[in-house]
């Protein structure tokens, strides 16, 4: 594992069980200064995702971080209702958290991102772990955004791995291909964290039990949520376990883990209505020669990690357990309904 460096962060999410893991990972990493969080419809609606985010922030003792509701609908079409079979009807695996007492920000997610980019010129890191609607809207609001931020890390797409929403399309991209096409064609440094790496780094039941055994309410809540998530992934892997999409993107954005194979390649997004709709068409033809340089390519596609991610993730998440000061009195706030 590597040592994170200090950076202000804007997180764009659709919370979501693995979004909750990513959020907790960021909050548990002192070098990641989360300045604001926007939500977008994906796993759940933008509104439900925002409530889940606020509740998690309060549980983690970070209720001061502002949360803005973003786009309910993708750039074209309308929100399809999310993925309750994966994340539960409430988005966090039917776990009940104490309702946060703080309010949502009055700005939109896109406005928040643009504001933060101006407040932290050249240093803001964007972590996008839902559909890219808000990021595309921010690019429209502020065409200079790519110059203003340090870079963007995106959980999404599939390079050589199968898709998950369709045979070739991953859900975050497929839920708003037009937005993804705008974001991936903008002139900035993109790190794409596709299914290739998130499906090959798996959290096992023993890791979940470590979270459940924690004295801290945050790891315990995450462990409870993962019970639901594991049941979905049993249909994918044949055993109780899960992929680690969003927390892996968080760890790469923060610098807590290091990519092993991560070529910088051309990436197109399929916005047709054909069988490839929503696919990230990554030019991986350099595969047989260790991916020679592609002139003018900007998108770093992470295919593998130097080390197994699960132990690192669990270690970081368990650090909430020791922080009794931030979680005292919240032990009763988590219950599985």
Catalytic residue list: 14, 245
Nearest of 190, 185, 167 to residue 278 by alpha carbon: 167
Residue 137 vs 270, nearer CB to a second copy: 270
Map residues 183-202 to x or -, x wherever contact with a second copy holds by CB under 8 A.
----------------x---
Q: Are 184 and 278 in contact (CB under 8 A)?
A: no
Map residues 101-140 to x or -, x wherever contact with a second copy holds by CB under 8 A.
----------------------------------------
CB of 163 to a second copy, least distance (A): 7
Task: Report if residue 162 touches a second copy, rule: CB under 8 A.
Answer: yes
Residue 271: strand, helix, or coil: coil
- Return the residue of 26, 168, 253, 305 that touches a second copy, per CB under 8 A: 168
CB of 57 to a second copy, least distance (A): 33
Residue 23: strand, helix, or coil: helix
Residue 140 vs 285, nearer CB to a second copy: 285
Map residues 306-325 to x or -, x wherever contact with a second copy holds by CB under 8 A.
--------------------
- Which helix (H) or strand (E) element contains residue 96? strand 95-97
Q: Are 192 and 299 in contact (CB under 8 A)?
A: yes
Largest alpha-carbon pair distance within the chain? 56
Residue span binding a second copy (CB under 8 A) among the ranges 95-103, 142-150, 255-263, 287-295: 287-295
Contacts to a second copy from residues 75-94, by CB under 8 A: none
CB of 263 to a second copy, least distance (A): 11
- Which helix (H) or strand (E) element contains residue 282? strand 280-282
Residue 107 vs 268, nearer CB to a second copy: 268
Alpha carbon distances (Å) from 232 to 87, 95, 277 = 8, 15, 24
Residue 279 vs 327, nearer CB to a second copy: 279
Q: Are 47 and 85 in contact (CB under 8 A)?
A: no
* Strand ranges, E, within 84-207: 95-97, 125-128, 151-155, 190-193, 202-204
- Return the residue of 53, 58, 108, 164 that touches a second copy, per CB under 8 A: 164
* Count of residues making up the chain: 337
Give the separation between CA 135 and CA 132, rounded to whole angstroms.
5
Query: Please, is 288 exposed, middle or buried when counting C-beta atoms within 10 Å of its C-beta (0-12, 13-18, 19+)?
Result: exposed
- Return the residue of 156, 163, 256, 263 that touches a second copy, per CB under 8 A: 163
Give the separation between CA 258 and CA 2, rounded to whole angstroms.
7
Q: Are 148 and 121 in contact (CB under 8 A)?
A: yes
By DSSP bridging, strand 190-193 and strand 241-243 are unpaired
Residue span binding a second copy (CB under 8 A) among the ranges 33-41, 140-148, 166-174, 321-329: 166-174
Residue 11 vs 181, nearer CB to a second copy: 181
- Return the residue of 78, 289, 329, 332 that touches a second copy, per CB under 8 A: 289
* Strand ranges, E, within 106-197: 125-128, 151-155, 190-193
Contacts to a second copy from residues 256-285, by CB under 8 A: 266, 268-276, 279, 281-285
Residue 169 vs 250, nearer CB to a second copy: 169
CB of 162 to a second copy, least distance (A): 4
Catalog residues that contact a second copy under the rule CB under 8 A: 160-164, 166-168, 199, 236-238, 266, 268-276, 279, 281-285, 287-289
């Amino acid at each position: 594992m590597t040592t994170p460096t200090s950076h202000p962060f804007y997180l764009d999410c659709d919370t979501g069980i693995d979004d909750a893991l990513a959020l907790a990972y960021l909050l548990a990493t002192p070098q990641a200064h989360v300045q604001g969080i926007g939500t977008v419809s994906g796993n759940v609606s933008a509104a439900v995702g925002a409530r889940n985010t606020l509740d998690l922030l309060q549980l983690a003792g970070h209720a001061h971080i502002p949360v803005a509701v973003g786009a309910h609908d993708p750039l074209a079409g309308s929100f399809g209702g999310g993925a309750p079979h994966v994340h539960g009807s409430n988005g966090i695996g039917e776990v009940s958290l104490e309702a946060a007492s703080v309010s949502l920000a009055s700005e939109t997610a896109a406005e928040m991102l643009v504001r933060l980019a101006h407040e932290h010129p050249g240093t803001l890191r964007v972590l996008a772990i839902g559909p890219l609607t808000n990021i595309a809207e921010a690019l429209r609001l502020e065409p200079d955004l790519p110059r203003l931020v340090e870079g963007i890390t995106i959980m999404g797409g599939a390079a050589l791995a199968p898709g998950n929403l369709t045979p070739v399309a991953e859900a975050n991209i497929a839920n708003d291909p037009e937005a993804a096409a705008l974001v991936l064609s903008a002139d900035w440094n993109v790190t794409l964290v596709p299914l290739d790496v998130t499906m090959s780094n798996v959290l096992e039941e023993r890791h979940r039990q470590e979270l459940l055994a924690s004295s801290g309410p945050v790891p315990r809540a995450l462990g409870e949520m993962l019970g639901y998530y594991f049941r979905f992934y049993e249909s994918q892997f044949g055993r109780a376990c899960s992929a680690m999409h969003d927390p892996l993107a968080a760890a790469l954005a923060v610098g807590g883990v290091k990519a092993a194979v991560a070529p910088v390649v051309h990436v197109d997004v399929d916005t047709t209505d054909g069988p490839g709709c929503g696919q990230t068409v990554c030019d991986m033809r350099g595969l047989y020669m260790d991916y020679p340089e592609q002139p003018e390519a900007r998108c770093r596609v992470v295919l593998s990690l130097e080390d197994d991610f699960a132990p690192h993730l669990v270690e970081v998440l368990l650090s909430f357990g020791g922080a009794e000061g931030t979680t005292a009195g919240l032990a009763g706030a988590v219950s599985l309904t």
